[in-house]
Amino acid sequence: MIEIKKILFPCDFTENSIKIIPYVLSLSEKYNSMIYILHVVDDLSKWGGFFIPHLSMDMFQNEAVKGAEKMMEKIYNEHLQDCPDSQKKIITGDPALEIIKTVESEEIDLVIMGTHGRKGLEHIILGSVAEHIVKKSPVPVLTINPHKLPAKK
Is 153 within a domain? no
Give CA–CA dist 95/39, Å, rounded.
8
43: in domain: yes
pLDDT digits (tens, 9 = 90+) for 107-131: 999 999 988 655 655 555 445 888 8
Does 1 map to a domain?
no
Is 110 contained in some domain?
yes
| pLDDT above 70: residue 50 | no
Residue 35: inside a domain = yes
Query: Model's pTM, two decimal places?
Result: 0.85
More confident residue, 54 or 134: 134
Instruction: Identify the CATH number of the domain in which residue 27 sits.
Output: 3.40.50.620
Whether 151 maps to a domain, the answer reads no
Q: How far is CA 69 from CA 59, 72, 146, 153, in A?
A: 15, 5, 24, 31
Task: List, for residues 84-108, the tens digit of each pLDDT value.
Answer: 789 999 999 999 999 999 999 999 9
Give yes or no for residue 16 having a pLDDT over 50: yes
10 pLDDT tier (thresholds 50, 70, 90): very high
Does 152 map to a domain?
Answer: no
Whether 114 contacts 130, CB under 8 Å: yes
Per-residue pLDDT at 32: 94
Domain boundaries, position 73: 6-146
Domain count, the chain: 1
